[in-house]
Amino acid sequence: MIATNTVAQEGGHWYAKDGTPAYTVTAKNGEQRSTTLRDAKKMGLLPSVTTIMKAAASPGLEAWKLNQMMLAALTLPRAEGEGEESFIKRVQADSKEHARKAAERGTQVHTAIEQFFDGQINANDLPYLEPVYKAVNDTFGNLMWAVEKSFAAESGFAGKVDIHSRDGEGVVADFKTKEFTSDTLDKVAGFDENVMQLAAYRNGLKLPNARCANIFVSVT
């Protein structure tokens, strides 16, 4: 069973004190633009959990970025006569492009999964959506799920949760996309900040005893 609510648009990191997403504001030219810190202070908005965490170092993410840069350096052929500075710039650009494509693919899969739980089914996505749904049901049972629910905590932060249930003591789950196969399942692990994010969501939803889970989905 699936409970739904209005799905907020991705991309913002600020919320009103009632939990309403405030990802954009109206610019002087009448068009929408991303909400800035200055806007947030003026409007009394609350920062998202991820916005707060980004203010601190993220060792796991930084290590991944370094790995991508090293892989780019190992695989990019160096042009004849190419200077060191030029080669370094190409390596940096190549590693960022890989990260951009990975993030783009992750967003597509993430959105498709949430739409599936929201009852919007795309037949082309079923080959990987059905296993995700089965894994969730096998782990937690046939619960009433709320999809993309935003909240504002009394302690001054806000956020939007992928899926959660208030059945029993509750379940709070967040989808993460990674590149892995069935042969590398033992190497799939989250970062410390993933756990902190779930703990904050559980607190913000007022489900202090809820089970929490990061659900990793392969994009390989």
Rounded-to-integer distance, Cα 181 and Cα 160, Å: 29
| pTM of structure | 0.76
Q: Tell me which of 29-33, 72-76, 195-199 is least confident.
A: 72-76
pLDDT on residue 11: 39
Specify whether the CB–CB gap between 207 and 169 falls below 8 A: yes
Does 5 score more than 70 pLDDT? no
Does 2 score more than 70 pLDDT? no
pLDDT on residue 8: 36
Long-range contacts of 105-108 (CB under 8 A, 24+ apart): 105/177, 105/219, 106/177, 106/219, 107/10
**Closest by CA position to 4, among listed 134, 163, 123, 131:** 163
Looking at per-residue pLDDT, the higher value among 10 and 193 belongs to 193
User: Model confidence over 105-129: pLDDT tens digits?
Assistant: 888 888 888 888 888 888 888 887 8
Domain boundaries, the chain: 2-10+56-218
Specify whether the CB–CB gap between 116 and 148 falls below 8 A: no
Q: Is the C-alpha dihedral spanning 10, 7, 202, 215 positive or negative?
A: negative
Does 1 score more than 50 pLDDT? no
